[in-house]
Amino acid sequence: MNLPFQWKVAFGILATVLIGLSLSSWLTLRIVRRGWPDALPASVQTDLLLAFGTALLIAMGVGIGIARRLTRPLSEMTQLAKHLATGGLGHRIRSAPPDEVGQLGDVLNQITDQLQAKIHEVSEDRAQLLAMLTAMVEGVMVLDSKGQVLLINPALERMFGLHSQPARGRPYWELIRHPDLNDLTARVLERRTGQTGELSLALSGRTLRVEVSVAGGRREHEACVVLVFHDITDLRRLETVRKDFVANVSHELRTPLTSIKGYVEALLDGGKDDPETMAKFLDIILRQSNRLNLILDDLLQLSQIESGVALFKRDLVSPGNVVERSLAIIQPLADKKGHRMHLEVAEGLPGVIGDEDRLVQVLTNLLDNAVKYTPDGGTITVRLQALEPTPGAEVGSIELSVADTGIGIPEGDRPRVFERFYRVDKARSRELGGTGLGLAIVKHIVEQHDGQVWVEGNQPAGSRFVVRLPAARPGQLTAPQTNLANNR
């Protein structure tokens, strides 16, 4: 029979008392029987039984009390141990007597306090580590000495699409199947020396730089190797853009400079002796010098806009005024080529918040391109209209489009026409005097106005450039109206 410990102690004490009482009763009886050799009187027997019973009850009470007093701290220690085994750290020993048992209880309380403090510290450190790993844009993977995954962070899950796969405990080569990465990691696990490599992911088109470091653990389930993945796709793209930009600038500047140098040398070699030849050469030199100035001016302007140095006004602008001012600049060029300017301007248009001079520059550039790349006698359509707010938007927008009947832009080239120095037909563009920077400037100005610009095909031929700007918010004054007439 499995009795509680305190009952075992109580029964032990009670047995000891009973043995003592039995011996005392036996001795008492022997002494009493000497006075009554034949038989004990009934009254004496009753007194003896009563005394024995009373002593027995007192012994039982005292034994149980002593047992409870002795075993209460031990019971609390047992409960404390059970709580610790299940992770409960809030239990303490309350009734510790001032003896060895009490000292043991105090020590157990101190151990529990220290354990609770240590677990709290470890939990805080773990929470901070997880917060840092979660916030990192770099992907992190931790491996043990056998190459099994101990931890990966959300950034790595996004990089390799591991959201639906359990990672912990799996070999790294099952999660990321990349031969270069597998070879790099295997070398580090074998040699225990850090390595750095660069990976290209064919599926996503991303470029990653991975640093594989030794963490020091040598046993299973200990951190042995840490892999940190840096997404350098944008960095590589910017490096490519920079290289292309330098190459394009060099080429664009070299062309007029070579021409100027050639004609200057021709003049020095005797061309200056013929007034007609000298005038012709000087005219070419002047035109090439002007072209250099245009390129440098556009480069400076584009650099200022991109770097945020250029200042943009925040006025209420009438879209009609922008169209009217731009047409006044372009109309002589259109008339010279016999183009028909077709206007479709809605009435009661709201204004836009921005810099009117910059917006005139945008439309003038688009109209200038339309005039240049449309054969003589073509039609250029300028449409200005208001659009209703899209779902979730507070205000509508103003859409300004320029469509022509010119040579058009192949569909494959349309996404790149807003890049610096990109030309669909390089020879024709230089012949018409373009710098290759106009549409790049247009894009940056429109983006500074929180707008969008794109190009699409025009039917039956030509191109259609579209600029969409957010309309002024309700409560702002309506933009002043103009006297633009449709269908010029």
The reported pLDDT for the residue numbered 363 is 93
The reported pLDDT for the residue numbered 45 is 61
Query: Which tens digit of pLDDT belongs to each residue from 249-262?
Result: 777 777 778 888 88
The reported pLDDT for the residue numbered 301 is 80
Region 181-203: mean pLDDT is: 74
Least confident of 80-89, 191-200, 209-218, 474-483: 474-483
Pairing of strands 340-345, 379-387: parallel
Query: What is the token pair recorded at 52?
Result: 């024995």
What confidence category does residue 479 fall into, taking pLDDT thresholds of 50, 70 and 90?
A: very low
The reported pLDDT for the residue numbered 468 is 92
pTM for this prediction: 0.56
Residue 2 has pLDDT above 60, yes or no: no
Query: Residue 192 contacts by C-beta under 8 Å, 6 or more apart in sequence?
Result: 214
Most confident listed range (203-217, 279-293, 358-372, 432-446)? 358-372
Query: What is the token pair recorded at 363?
Result: 């439309």
Q: Can you tell me the distance from the alpha carbon of 488 to that of 484, in angstroms, rounded to the nearest whole number?
A: 9
The reported pLDDT for the residue numbered 36 is 56
Residue 403 has pLDDT above 70, yes or no: yes
208 in Cβ contact with 230 (< 8 Å): yes
What confidence category does residue 478 fall into, taking pLDDT thresholds of 50, 70 and 90?
A: very low
Query: What is the token pair recorded at 280?
Result: 């012709």
DSSP-derived 3-state class of residue 471: strand
Q: What is the dihedral of CA 469, 475, 477, 479, to 10 degrees?
A: 30
Q: Can you tell me the distance from the alpha carbon of 412 to that of 262, in angstroms, rounded to the nearest whole number?
A: 37
Neighbours of 19 (CB within 10 A): 10
Q: Can you tell me the distance from the alpha carbon of 130 to that of 110, in angstroms, rounded to the nearest whole number?
A: 30
Residue 482 has pLDDT above 70, yes or no: no
Query: Which tens digit of pLDDT belongs to each residue from 310-368?
Result: 788 888 999 999 999 999 998 988 999 999 999 988 888 888 999 999 999 899 989 98
- More confident site: 194 or 325: 325
The reported pLDDT for the residue numbered 202 is 56
- The DSSP output letter for 148 is B
Q: Which residues pair with 401 in a beta bridge?
A: 383, 466
- Residue matched to tokens 């008392």: 17
DSSP string, 217-267: --STTS--EEEEEEE-HHHHHHHHHHHHHHHHHHHHHHHHHHHHHHHHHHH
Q: Can you tell me the distance from the alpha carbon of 208 to that of 297, in angstroms, rounded to the nearest whole number?
A: 38
- First-to-final CA distance of the chain: 112
- What average pLDDT is seen over the chain? 77
